[in-house]
Amino acid sequence: MPDAADLERALRAVGLRVTRPRLAVLDAVHANPHVDTEALIGAARARLGAVSHQAVYDVLQVLTDRGLVRRIQPQGSVARYEARVGDNHHHLVCRSCGAISDVDCATGEPPCLSPAGGEGFVVDEAEVIYWGRCRSCAAGRATSSNADRSPPQRGAP
């Protein structure tokens, strides 16, 4: 995990001023992969004392725009943020508990998938989400129901 000096260098490398809210949010994203906005607000407040919801949203937007943070939002879930960027990795999402895990590119070199009939598109990224049940949930439930086949409800962890 990067230290404060590494985070400061990362911000400067993409042309951003180093601010306490940016450092707090970027540090929290590195410390908590696939973290949601509410958890980031809590982490920023724990570190800084007072910071508004809007300030955290603004920081997340600029960090995402500059490529320091990746925003993902699996169907039925709130937006999540991660610091693993630029490698076109994919995600495993548990239908039962909503846990999210990283998985490397499916096959070959990024973007690792070529669409059939791409009609002139130059693909530079593929976003793949694998749905299923994590080890813990699969061990606790040997049978599946129709409810298990749908993504977790909005707001699920």
CATH number at residue 96: 3.30.1490.190
Same domain, 11 and 64: yes
pLDDT in tens, 66-105: 999 999 998 888 999 999 998 878 899 999 998 999 988 7
11 and 36 inside one domain? yes
81 domain residue, yes or no:
no
Q: Are residues 67 and 90 in the same domain?
A: no
Domain count, the chain: 2
The number of residues making up the chain comes to 157
Residue 78 counted as domain residue: no
Cα Rg of the chain, angstroms: 18
Q: How confident is the model at residue 111 (pLDDT cuts 50, 70, 90)?
A: low
Residue 131 sits in which domain range? Answer: 86-149
| Residue 90 DSSP code | E
Distance between CA atoms of residues 78 and 97, nearest Å: 14
Which of 59-68, 92-101, 109-118, 141-150 bottoms out in mean pLDDT, i.e. has the lowest? Answer: 141-150
Final residue in a domain of this structure, among 72, 100, 124: 72
Looking at the fold, whether 8 and 67 belong to one and the same domain comes out as yes
